[in-house]
Structure 1
Amino acid sequence: MATIYEVSKAAGVSLATVSRVMNGNSKVSERTRNKVLKAMDELGYRPNAIAQSLASNRTNSVGLLVSELHGSFFGDLMSTVEKELRADGKHVIITAGHSDEAREKEAIEFLKSRRCDALILHAEAVCDDYLRELNESGVSLVLVNRMVPGMEQQCFVLDNEAGGYLATKAAIDAGHRDIGYISGPQSKEDARQRLAGHVRALREAGLNTENALVYQGDYHESEGANGFKQLWQQHPGFSALICANDEMASGAMTAAREEGINVPEQLSVVGFDDVLFARYLHPRLTTVDNPVSAMGLMAARWVLHNVYKKKLSGVIKNVFLPELISRDSLGTHL
């Protein structure tokens, strides 16, 4: 097996230069870098990852914590982060916290034990103080879909309140006044904000908010179905249903069809997230865009710039504004 000394001799450069190439040092000229890489390739030299990390104090790995490993939302986040970091030679270690405080902390400790150079966290259960302490301990971290006071430049978030407002206002503008709502779990900040936006839209239109039709779901498809059934039993005949994510909207639409209720002729449905399947439902789902891929991209770029000192073009955007995606599931109510 070839050694670093043989690579140095074949390329006609010093050992230090070979080491700089292996560690991605930007001070090496492109011509010299290519000479070293060619020599490594011809000799079949493979750098020892452990030795590299000890020498550079970098593992070239980034930890990614998500709430769940299933579903389009987290799939988009994981895919975007991995693609952006992999393009720069970094690897991603992924683990799940399942929206549970103890499991989130355990997952974060696991990523730290793997000597990840930085952490990208979609953390929902741990408190702000824990995240601030983690940040102040010297761990390089960024947060996706969460704003922690004092860490604003490391947070990448959607204005969820504005998104909840947009979804309900779209139904109101289409003539609906009798509107049901299936929220996410109110233990989650994004769910609370989306519900607050819904209430703001009702109040602005002069509609009743005291006895509003609201069912608390868990962001899963089955709770969309359960939520629709309970709300319909409680107040049959409401004309529009706003759901705090697309999975629950899909479940609600299926349950409505099973009851012989046509969407959107008898019931309009609006979702939230604009996951991939939303455009393939029948009817195609009107929803609010939640740019999780863009947030993941910004988080990855923050890591590349601030941890790996890579020069980037363009600005790093922290707060994203929602957009209504109009399709076929929202009809006009006369």
Structure 2
Amino acid sequence: MPTIYEVSKLAGVSLATVSRVMNNTSPVRESTRKKVEAAMAELGYRPNSIARSLASNRSDSIGILVSELHGPFYGAMISSIEAEFRTAGKHVIIAAGHSEEATERDGIEFLLSRNCDALILHVEAVSDEYLVQLKAKEIPFVLINRQVPQLQPQCISLNNKLGGYLATQLLLRQGHRQLGYISGPLWKTDAQDRYRGHQLALQEAGLDWDPKRLFEGDYHEDGGSAGIRYFLQQGIPLTALICANDEMASGAMTEAREQGLFIPQQLSIIGFDNVMLSHYTYPKLSTIDYPIAAMGQMAARWVLKEVYQQKQPELQLVFEPRLIERDSCVVLPQP
């Protein structure tokens, strides 16, 4: 196995210069860098990652903790983060927290035990106090889809309330007044905010809020199916349905058809997220665009700027949702 000494000899430079090239710890003349890289390639030399870590006090790895590993939403987020770091010569380690406090804590401890230089956290169950304490330990991390007042400069979030408002406003403009709402788990802040936006749109339209027209789902397809069955079993008349994410909207559409309803002729449905599956439902799903890939990219850029001191474009911390109108919502025919 070739050694760093052989690389040094073949390139005609000092060991210190080879080390600087490998660890990128200080500027090296471009011609010298190319000689070192050519020598490494000719010898088939692979730098020892542990040695590099000790030399630079960096592992060049970033820990990512997400709620789940399945589904198009988290796939889009993780892919955008990984792509940004790969371009920068960094690697990622991924863990799942499953929206459980103990599991999220364990995931964070696991990533820290792997000497990650920073963490990107999509966490829902750990408390704000826990995250503030993490900051006090000088552990660099950035939050996605979470607002903690004491940690504002490292929180990347979506205006979820506006998203819920836009979804409901579309249906109201189309003449719908008999609305149902399938929320996410209401202990989650994003689910609460989306539902508050829905309530605000009802209030502005002069409509009373009816708690019977709310079904608390789980952000999975089964939650959308269960929501449709609830409204039908309760005999609650609906012309339109707002679902707090696209997965539940997909489940609701399938169940509605199995119950003999035509979409959108008898029931308009709108989702939230604009994940890939929303393009392939029948009819194509109207939804609220959640730019999670862009938010993941921004989280990676935050780490590159704050931890690795790389120059980055201006960071955006708050993202705005957009209404995407497709075929699953129609203007209600007037009697």
Shared fold (TM-score, shorter chain, > 0.5): yes
CA contact (8 A) 2:285 2:328 kept: yes
Please, what is the CA RMSD of the aligned residues? 1.0
Letter in 2 for 1:231: F
- Report deviation, 1:88: 1.3
Letter in 2 for 1:275: V
Q: Counterpart in 2 of 1:61?
A: 61
Q: Counterpart in 1 of 2:320?
A: 321
Residues 1-334 of structure 1 mapped to structure 2, 5 A cutoff: 1-25=1-25, 27-211=27-211, 213-312=213-312, 314-333=313-332, 334=334
Residues 332, 202 of structure 1: CA spacing in aligned structure 2 closer, same or farther, 3 A cutoff? same
What is the TM-score when the length of structure 1 is the normalising length? 0.98
CA distance in 2, matches of 1:32, 1:80: 33
Alpha-carbon displacement from aligned partner over 1:87-115 (angstroms, at most 9, x marks no partner): 11111100000000000000000000000
Gaps of 5+ in 2: none
Identity %: 58
Residues 161, 26 of structure 1: CA spacing in aligned structure 2 closer, same or farther, 3 A cutoff? farther
> Helix, strand or coil: the match of 2:206?
coil
- Report deviation, 1:309: 1.4
> Helix, strand or coil: the match of 1:248?
helix
> Helix, strand or coil: the match of 2:215?
strand
CA contact (8 A) 2:264 2:329 kept: yes
CA distance in 1, matches of 2:102, 2:112: 15
- Report deviation, 1:303: 0.7
- Report deviation, 1:26: 5.3
Letter in 1 for 2:5: Y
CA contact (8 A) 2:62 2:91 kept: yes
Moved over 3 A (4+): none
Alpha-carbon displacement from aligned partner over 1:233-282 (angstroms, at most 9, x marks no partner): 22443100000000000000001000110110000000000000101100
> Helix, strand or coil: the match of 2:150?
coil
> Helix, strand or coil: the match of 2:214?
strand
- Report deviation, 1:31: 2.2
- Report deviation, 1:180: 0.2
Letter in 2 for 1:208: D
CA distance in 2, matches of 1:216, 1:160: 17
CA distance in 1, matches of 2:30, 2:224: 55
> Helix, strand or coil: the match of 1:151?
helix
CA distance in 2, matches of 1:169, 1:234: 25
CA distance in 2, matches of 1:286, 1:231: 21
Letter in 1 for 2:191: A
Residues 26, 252 of structure 1: CA spacing in aligned structure 2 closer, same or farther, 3 A cutoff? farther
Deviates more, 1:246-255 or 1:82-91: 82-91
CA distance in 2, matches of 1:33, 1:316: 31
CA contact (8 A) 2:62 2:90 kept: yes
- Report deviation, 1:211: 3.8
CA distance in 2, matches of 1:14, 1:264: 72
CA distance in 1, matches of 2:30, 2:317: 33
Question: How many residue pairs end up in the alignment?
Answer: 333
CA distance in 2, matches of 1:83, 1:162: 29
> Helix, strand or coil: the match of 1:81?
helix
CA contact (8 A) 2:25 2:56 kept: no
Letter in 1 for 2:72: S
Residues 311, 26 of structure 1: CA spacing in aligned structure 2 closer, same or farther, 3 A cutoff? farther
Residues 26, 240 of structure 1: CA spacing in aligned structure 2 closer, same or farther, 3 A cutoff? farther
